Structure formats: structure tokens, C-alpha cells
Chain A
Amino acid sequence: MHAFDYHRPATIKEAASLLRKTENSRVLAGGQSLIPTLKFRLSKPSALIDLAGIGELRGIKLDGATLTIGAMTTHSEVASSKDVAIGIPTLARLAAGVGDRQVRNAGTIGGALANNDPAADYPAAVLGIGASVHTNKRVIPADKFFTGTLETALRAGEIITAVAFPLPKRAAYVKFRNPASRFALVGVFVAEGAGAVRVAVTGAAPCVFRVKEMEKRLGEKFAAEAIAKITVPPGTLNSDIHASAEYRSHLITVLAQRAVAAALAGK
């Protein structure tokens, strides 16, 4: 990799200041995507600002109707948290299925969201539940956060501090793994919340997205057969060596039905 400076600030304020002052610096929030790009020499930041030393970015809190997860909370912490298991059990299962054990022990929810990999799991949960992303500047609703491939609404110098999930009545995530990478070839998150159903799809398109037509039908009747005939047009989906757009489109419908069935079964 190319040489870079390394900073390990103790507060959000200090981190933000370093980020503002250091040209071409990058935030390190677990590094499970960033470090490989450095190793491949695909990225050449002048400095990495490691958030691992900032205590206020960690932790999980279940409070009334909201589950709040600090940005630097690792996937394995989410997976094993009692509060997550009580509040949104499917989120704990999702976290337990991210990457491999090493990735889950180092990777963080904030890092995953800021990176917004088109095949990552967390974006599906955040969009599917309608969570809000808290930063050091503001609160960004999920619907405004994910803007494109590896792109988010975050501005320069903005750092995710926490994610707040309203507790859904029921939810489930079904992932079809790419046999090579084990990332989502298609992942569908279905959540029935206060008066509304949301369906979010990851892995299938350049960016996580909602399927409004499915949400409408499921709002009328929360049952798998309600969406059996609803397909996402392949034209908007990815086609690559792992799967054609047609196959991804087909999988979305199959997996969405399975997610509904799993949500109903409480799995």
C-alpha cells in the first residue's frame, strides 16, 4: 500500500477537526473495505483517521420504541446484543451473517453505511426499517441517505455517530449469497412497522432500493402470495458474471415472499 499518516482521535470533535484540516484524509471505521482497497493500491489517502478510540461512538441502547446503535459498534456486538435480540431480532441475525468472523469482529455498522457497498446487508435493514442516520451535524432519514453506488448523503467532514431504528412489528431479511464472495447476490429486507410495510433490496442494483409496489400489496395483506406476481423490471438491475438482471429480478420476488413468510413465522 501507499504510505499514509495515521490518527487516532479520542473525541468526535477532534476527529471532525482532523478530517477537515487534513486534505485527502479518510475515516477508518473498522476498515473491512477500506484496508483491502489500500492493499490493492486502489486508494491513496494522505491520512487515516481511526474512530476506534472514540468511546461515545460505541454501544447499543433500547429505549421505548427505538433501538439506537453507535456507529463504531461491530457486527459481532450487534449480533450478540440482548437489546437487539429483544428489539429487532432479525437485525441481530443479519449482523451475524455479515462477511466472516474476522470481518464481524472488526467491521462496524457506521463504516458499512458510510461505504454503502451495493451488496452490503446493513443498508437493506436501515432502508427496510426506515431508520435514521445520526451524524455529528444532523439526522438523515434512510430514504435520503443512500444516494448511489458507494455514495451517500454524507458531506465532507461529516461523521456518522449512530443509527436509530424504530422497532418494527415484525421483520425479516433473506439473503441469497454470491457463492464466491458470500455477499448478497440479492438480499430482501421486509418490515411491517407502524402502519406501513417497507421492502428494501440490496445486491441487485447499483444501490439499495425499495419496492413500493410490494409494500403497497403487503400493506393491504401481509402475506407471501400477495407479492407472488410482482417483479422488479430487470432493466434497472445489475447483470454480471454472477447473475443476470433477469435472474436477480426473479430472485427478488422469490426472496421477498420468503422474507414475508419468515417475518410471519417470527424467524
Chain B
Amino acid sequence: MNAPIIGQPIQRKEDVRFLTGGGTFTDDVNVHGQTHAYFLRSPHAHARIRSIDRAQAATAPGVLAIFTGDDLAEAKVNGLPCGWLITDVNGQPMKEPPHPVLAQGKVRYVGDHVAVVIAETLNQAKEAAELIDVDYEILSAVVKAGDARKPGAPVVHDAAPDNTCFVWAIGDKEAVDRAFSGAHHVTTLEFINNRLIPNAIEPRAAVAQYAASEDAYTLHVTSQNPHVERLLMTAFVLGLPEHKVRVISPDVGGGFGSKIYLYAEETVITWASKQVKRPIKWTAERTESFLSDAHGRDHVTRAELALDKDGKFLALRVATTANMGAYLSTFASCIPTILYATLLAGQYTTPAIHCEVTAVFTNTAPVDAYRGAGRPEATYVVERLVDTAARETGIDRAEIRRRNFITTFPYQTPVALNYDTGNYEATLAEAMQIAGVAGFETRRKEAERRGMLRGLGYSAYIEACGIAPSNIAGALGARAGLFEAGEIRVHPTGSVTVFTGSHSHGQGHETTFAQVVAGRLGIPVENVDVVHGDTGRILFGMGTYGSRSIAVGGTAIMKALDKVIAKGKKIAAHLLDAQESEVEFVDGEFWITGTDRCKTFAEVALAAYVPHNYPLDKLEPGLNESAFYDPTNFTFPAGSHICEVEIDPATGVTRVVNFTAVDDFGKVINPMIVEGQVHGGLAQGIGQALLEACIYDPESGQLLTATLMDYALPRADDLPAFKVGMKETPCTHNPLGVKGCGEAGAIGAPAAVINAVVDALAHLGVRDVEMPATPERVWRAIQSAKTANKAA
């Protein structure tokens, strides 16, 4: 019992449920009298709706109702809100065109919601939907970020005639310009950060019920943050009182950001469940997910790094155009700004940084946070520049990083953030050691003999996690608080149920949080269960995203535990006839300092609930404490990734043959779970670098990668056995010393992979390959380099 629980690779408590088919996912929820919703979606990227004729469909077998945007407008249902206000460089608020839950007058992307059919069976709903006659006036579409502001581009929203949502900037432009004018060397790169489609294994789903007797709603939905979902839906869209809506987010099969947002589907069926007086279920099919889940990334960037003669970074200048899609999704506006440009210092002492971000509307699905959310894009900018600058200046790539690493903390970056702690040299050194960098040239030569091109790439990433101190977020435009809530309910026999506002959709919180509680209370981890994902049972919490659960949610739990222990000391002091100040809590027992007198945690819990011998005049019975925690700073996980690739020059096929990640997540609660998070993130990062491309037809705006037959997700055989290492520099401002680990892999990996690809091809004269570096792109890079070499 006294063995340390925190830091142990305890098997996941939830896996018994998942591996034996005992999980309850939203689609597993079936309610008596349930009907089914099917959404008729726009087949066009951009069109005016002249009319919708639903007469024939309404009489089809099994149909209960068909609703369109006009019905929702008439019922005064509002549009979906955006939770983050960005102010334009001209001082005006960003353009926020209406985001109707069902299209009104116009459709703006393929998959946009035109009507909902509610029928007894899903098949009947689909049959009826085929009978709805929509008269579209097709308009030309714009899909690429780089095309949105071109003269004559189709206008997505009348409210933004130049398709510009905002132009935003951070940093000291004059200082940057000065530094560039005196620079010894300038490295410039232009690149696209490819648009990605999240693809959680469980598609989005919802089951909405309305109970007329209580005038109350229950919504089961695949959400990463059920309280935020409820707040946005009730207060901003449907105008319902919050206490009349219970949102339950049961087992959820992956989110990666795509399940943070309030979407049209669950909003419509919640509203409609009262209209049809029947429960309604909707589950996305895979292609619906491709079309309508919020996408990620999609930046076009020009970046310049100024260096002095010793390879010290003098300044960084970045201009990015970010694709917002057709509408502003819930947190869309903060991703390419607050979560992107503020990370451009990376791990380096670059004294002057300026970044300008132009956010544009296009006829594509909305774009929002996807694992890493802004930070992979920032890391890609910085780390591609650093590798390229090293090559151009002839400085070793590890050495140029060492020369520029931040080594004293706290460190104030020129782009708002204040790093509390880190040890970048140590993570790099360990990564180089594990990756066997010293033996790389030998491996490269051996590969050459086999006709293969081998390359090695570095990526030293940093991320800002925790999201966030609410006051800072508020000053930056957040329209919500960003604390977390936790509650510790100690039962009379000393076992514990933990209620957390964080949400687990694969992260293993039921184990990690149980370890935190068991470790602090000195009780077996089996005696702790974790409850999450239900607004009817849990304090108002902000949910899980931005690698925030352990740093913010875990700290809220720690604060509640402190209260439990403080009260326990009072109870123990009474039971032991001692002063409260004499009581120490050690390994699950309340001791009177310097004596052999003690009470176990269970004895104290029992006394709290059976208060026969209890200071009832001074102390309430019971042992149930809660806490809300708002952090004082972001946390700053950082690490070094080293990727080694082999390229077949005849076909361009690139294999990742080695991948090393040494991460500093501060204190690690469960190293096995953390390693799993790293693996998953790396898979997605390597997927972005080599495989995944969301492609819209530039003319028609059709999504050409709308199935897994066309959108290449990484599979096990696309990936090497990862080598993972950890360095622990504890976070200085939370009691667990934790930083968060969920996004790191996806943040660091893309730059490491592309740096390795370029390293393998650099001797031919290749200096960039666009992501994803598909076999054809790599082959073409080789061909054009060969052609250029011949010409020269």
C-alpha cells in the first residue's frame, strides 16, 4: 500500500470495459420511442437556395417531420457562436457572419446542412431525403486559402466582401525589420501546412430526448466538454435555461479536437425532439464526418529567419494566411493566432519576432483545433527554418540549436508567453544519444550501398498547454473561462469517487486521475473511481483539449484533496484527542507527530459519516470536497524529436525507419499512458508529414478525399517502433509539477520528418518537399533537382 502510485505504469482501469465490449458510446444509447434523423447536405460548395420542396418527402413512409433553415429561423433558433474574439489590426472586431444551424438562403460548403428528416427508421429518413427537391443556383467557389483574397474571388459572406475574417499581428515589427537589415544571413521558406481531417474512430453522434412532464432535455453527445456544449447550445442558440438541459458525453472514441465544438446536428435534434415529442438519434457516417467535422491546419506561410555570423537568431518574420472554412467554428479564430503565433519563439532566444495572420473564409468545411492546434504549425515554421538555416550557414543542426536555446528561466518571449521552466539541451542530448546520431553517417553510407537515400531530421518543439489562466485568455479575446473543476466524494468506508470536469475520450483519465487521488490519500487505486462527462453529476467543468486535463483538471482534484485532508486532520485530531497542528497525514494515515498514535483514512471517513464521536459543534459531518482551479500560467512541455527516413529514389517511397522522441512533460503520473499518448501523437504527426491530405477540387469545391479509400490515415505498418524518452523538469506553478502530454507527438513530428526527407535529398539540391511528402512529390523533387543539376 505504501509503494508509490504516482509514476507507476498501472494498467488502464477502463480497458476491461473497452476490450470486452462493455463501453457505452453514444450510438449504444437507445431510448424507448427513438426516431432517427438524417441530414440532407449540400452537394454544392457554393449555391443560393432558390426553394426547397419537401411536399413529397413529407408523405413518405415513416416520416415524422422535415425541418429547414426557414423553420429554425421562424422558431428564433440562433446561429452557432464563436467563442473567441480576435481584433483586427485596424481595431475592428473580426467578421462574424451568421452560422445558421440549417442553411438559410445559401449553402457555403459541400456537406453544409440543408434540411433534417426525422423518421421512424434511418432508412426511411434517407429514402425521404432523396425526395426533397432543392432548387440551387450554383455559384462559383473558392477553396484555397491563397485564393480567397484574390480580386474577383467568389464572396462567401456578404459581410466579408474580401473573404477576410481578420488580419491580426503580434510582435515588434520595427525591431524585426531593424534586425533583418543588419543580418549576416537570412533564411526564407514558403510552405503550406496541409489541411487535415481528424477521423476519430467513433464518428460524431447524438441522442436527444425531451421530457414534457419536466420540460427538460437530455442530450447524449460525443463531446470533449459537455458543460461547454450545454452552455453554448442553451444560452447562445436555443435560448433554453441551462438547468433544464442535461448533457451526457459517455464513452467517446477519440476526439483530437473535433469533438470540442458545438455542431449543427446535436443542436437541431435537441430542438426537434420537443417538436416531434419523440427522442431522436443521429450518428454520422464516415463520409459525413469527412464532410462536416471541423478540419485542421490549412496555412499558407512565408517565414524568414535572420542570423548573425555566429548562427545566433536575430529575428523571425512570419506571414500566414489561415483558412477558416465557410463559417467560424467554436474556437476557430484563436487557433492560428493565440495558439500559433505566440509559440514562434520555440525553444530559442530569438529576440525579435513579428507575425501577421490573415484569416480567410472559403467554401470548405470549418477549420478549428486539431491535435496540437496552432502549435504544430508554429513548430513547423520554426524547425524547418532552423534546419534550413543550419544547412545554408554550414553549422551543424544540433549545434545551431544549442547556440540559440533558452537556458535561463523564467523566460519572457517577445510573443507574450513566459516560459516557467525547461531544459532543452538535456532533451536534445538524450534524443541524440537514443537516436544514435553519432552512427548516422555510417547508416547513411550503408543505405547508399543498397541504393537508398537516408536522411535525419530534428525538431525541437515547445507547446503552451493547460489552456489557460482565464484572465490572460480573456484579455486575448476568450469569451469563456478556462478553469477546471474537481470533486472528491469520500464514502463512509474510505473509498472515493472523483468527479472531474475533464473528459476522457481515450486519454485514460479514469486511471491517471485515480492514481493522483490514490497516491495523495495513500489508498489502493482500486478504491478510486473517476466519473466524467455528465452535466447532471459533475460541477461545471471546461473539458479536455489543449493537453490540459492533468495540468488543470488534475490540479483541481489536488486542491479538493487538500481540503479533504485538511478536514480529515481536524477529525483525526478530535478522535486522537490532539491539536490539529499536531496531526500529520502520511501514507494514508493521520499521525500525531512523534507518537505511535494514528487513525487510518478509512477510520476518519467513517467518523465523518457516523459522527457519534465527532466535533459537531465545530465541524460539519461528511467528507466531500470540491475545488475550482484556474492556473496562473500555461504549462510548457517541450522536447526533441529525431526522425530518420529512407527514400527509394526510383519510386520516391519514404519510410520512417527510426523515430526518437524525448519529451519533457514535467512529472509523469503514468508513464505507460504517457507513452501511449506520445505514440498516438507521433502517428498523427507522421501522418500529416507523409500521408494525409485533405483535397478539395479547386474548381467545383467537391471534397475529393471524403472516404478512407482516398484519405490516407497512417497504419501500423507505416510507422516504426518508436523510441521514447522522458526528461522531467517539473512545472513550477502546479502542485503535481505536470505539463500535459496529449498533443506533443503531433506537434513535433511533422517538422522532424520533413527535415529528414530534405536531409536525404539535400545533396541533390532539394531544399523543400511539401507535406504530405507522398512518393510522387518526393520522386518529382528528385527529378527536378536532377534536371536543374544537368542544366547547371
In the complex, what's the smallest C-beta–C-beta distance from A122 to chain B, in angstroms? 18
Given A241-B705, A244-B776, decide whether A179 and B651 contact each other with a Cβ distance below 8 A: no
With CB as the reference atom, state the residue of chain B lying closest to A251: B651
With CB as the reference atom, state the residue of chain A lying closest to B130: A41
In the complex, what's the smallest C-beta–C-beta distance from B325 to chain A, in angstroms? 20
**A243 an interface residue at 8 Å Cβ cutoff?**
yes
Q: In the docked arrangement, what's the CA distance between A144 and B757, Å?
A: 45
With CB as the reference atom, state the residue of chain B lying closest to A39: B285
**A222 an interface residue at 8 Å Cβ cutoff?**
no
Q: In the docked arrangement, what's the CA distance between A251 and B652, Å?
A: 10
Residues of B close to A8: CB separation below 8 A: none
Residues of B close to A243: CB separation below 8 A: 776
**B29 an interface residue at 8 Å Cβ cutoff?**
no
Are B709 and A179 in contact (CB-based, < 8 A)?
no
**B704 an interface residue at 8 Å Cβ cutoff?**
yes
**B695 an interface residue at 8 Å Cβ cutoff?**
yes
Given A180-B708, A181-B710, A241-B695, decide whether A247 and B779 contact each other with a Cβ distance below 8 A: yes
In the complex, what's the smallest C-beta–C-beta distance from A170 to chain B, in angstroms? 23
Query: Interface code A71-114, partner B: CB below 8 Å = 1, 0 otherwise?
Result: 00000000000000000000000000000000000000000000
Are A241 and B710 in contact (CB-based, < 8 A)?
yes
Are A180 and B709 in contact (CB-based, < 8 A)?
yes
Query: Interface code A172-185, partner B: CB below 8 Å = 1, 0 otherwise?
Result: 00001011110100
In the complex, what's the smallest C-beta–C-beta distance from A174 to chain B, in angstroms? 11
**A254 an interface residue at 8 Å Cβ cutoff?**
yes
Residue of A41, A179, A180 most packed against chain B (CB within 10 A): A179
Are B650 and A247 in contact (CB-based, < 8 A)?
no
In the complex, what's the smallest C-beta–C-beta distance from A128 to chain B, in angstroms? 21
In the complex, what's the smallest C-beta–C-beta distance from A62 to chain B, in angstroms? 32
Given A41-B126, A241-B704, A254-B650, decide whether A179 and B776 contact each other with a Cβ distance below 8 A: no
Are B651 and A176 in contact (CB-based, < 8 A)?
yes
Residues of B close to A210: CB separation below 8 A: none
Q: In the docked arrangement, what's the CA distance between A91 and B424, Å?
A: 54
Which of B123, B651, B711, B780 has a CB less than 8 Å from the CB of A180? Answer: B711
**B691 an interface residue at 8 Å Cβ cutoff?**
yes
**A7 an interface residue at 8 Å Cβ cutoff?**
no
Residues of B close to A2: CB separation below 8 A: 127
User: How many residues of chain B have a CB within 8 Å of chain A?
Assistant: 23
Q: In the docked arrangement, what's the CA distance between A158 and B712, Å?
A: 37
Query: Interface code A254-265, partner B: CB below 8 Å = 1, 0 otherwise?
Result: 100000000000
Q: In the docked arrangement, what's the CA distance between A87 and B704, Å?
A: 42
**A250 an interface residue at 8 Å Cβ cutoff?**
yes
Residues of B close to A179: CB separation below 8 A: 691, 712, 718, 774-775
In the complex, what's the smallest C-beta–C-beta distance from A71 to chain B, in angstroms? 25
With CB as the reference atom, state the residue of chain A lying closest to B695: A241
Given A241-B704, A241-B705, A251-B651, decide whether A180 and B712 contact each other with a Cβ distance below 8 A: yes
Residues of B close to A251: CB separation below 8 A: 651
User: How many residues of chain A have a CB within 8 Å of chain B?
Assistant: 17
In the complex, what's the smallest C-beta–C-beta distance from A120 to chain B, in angstroms? 13
With CB as the reference atom, state the residue of chain B lying closest to A248: B776
With CB as the reference atom, state the residue of chain A lying closest to B691: A179
In the complex, what's the smallest C-beta–C-beta distance from B451 to chain A, in angstroms? 12
Residues of A close to B718: CB separation below 8 A: 179
Q: In the docked arrangement, what's the CA distance between A21 and B487, Å?
A: 69
Q: In the docked arrangement, what's the CA distance between A242 and B709, Å?
A: 11
Query: Interface code B106-123, partner A: CB below 8 Å = 1, 0 otherwise?
Result: 000000000000000001
Query: Interface code A183-198, partner B: CB below 8 Å = 1, 0 otherwise?
Result: 1000000000000000
In the complex, what's the smallest C-beta–C-beta distance from B781 to chain A, in angstroms? 12
Query: Interface code A113-131, partner B: CB below 8 Å = 1, 0 otherwise?
Result: 0000000000000000000
Which of A1, A181, A254 has a CB less than 8 Å from the CB of B651? Answer: A254
Which residues of B (678-724) have their CB < 8 Å from a CB of A? 691, 693, 695, 704-705, 708-713, 718
With CB as the reference atom, state the residue of chain A lying closest to B287: A40
Which residues of A (16-53) have their CB < 8 Å from a CB of B? 41
In the complex, what's the smallest C-beta–C-beta distance from B501 to chain A, in angstroms? 38
Residues of B close to A242: CB separation below 8 A: 710
With CB as the reference atom, state the residue of chain A lying closest to B705: A241
Residues of B close to A181: CB separation below 8 A: 708-710
In the complex, what's the smallest C-beta–C-beta distance from A226 to chain B, in angstroms? 17
Are B126 and A250 in contact (CB-based, < 8 A)?
no
Q: In the docked arrangement, what's the CA distance between A41 and B126, Å?
A: 9
Are B695 and A250 in contact (CB-based, < 8 A)?
no
In the complex, what's the smallest C-beta–C-beta distance from A40 to chain B, in angstroms? 8
Residues of B close to A178: CB separation below 8 A: 712
In the complex, what's the smallest C-beta–C-beta distance from B649 to chain A, in angstroms? 10
Q: In the docked arrangement, what's the CA distance between A237 and B427, Å?
A: 49
Residues of A close to B710: CB separation below 8 A: 180-181, 241-242
With CB as the reference atom, state the residue of chain B lying closest to A179: B712
In the complex, what's the smallest C-beta–C-beta distance from A55 to chain B, in angstroms? 34
With CB as the reference atom, state the residue of chain B lying closest to A176: B651
Residues of A close to B691: CB separation below 8 A: 179-180
Residues of A close to B774: CB separation below 8 A: 179
29 sample A-B contacts, Cβ–Cβ < 8 Å, listed by A number: A1-B123, A2-B127, A41-B126, A179-B712, A179-B718, A179-B774, A179-B775, A180-B691, A180-B705, A180-B708, A180-B709, A180-B710, A180-B711, A180-B713, A181-B708, A181-B709, A181-B710, A241-B693, A241-B695, A241-B704, A241-B705, A241-B710, A244-B776, A247-B775, A247-B776, A247-B779, A247-B780, A251-B651, A254-B650
What residues of chain A have their CB less than 8 Å away from a CB belonging to chain B? 1-2, 41, 176, 178-181, 183, 241-244, 247, 250-251, 254
Having A180-B712, A181-B708, A241-B693, one finds 8 other A-B pairs with CB under 8 Å, namely: A2-B127, A180-B709, A180-B713, A181-B709, A181-B710, A241-B710, A247-B780, A254-B650
9 nearest A-B residue pairs (beta carbon): A180-B712, A181-B709, A179-B712, A247-B776, A254-B650, A241-B704, A241-B695, A180-B710, A243-B776
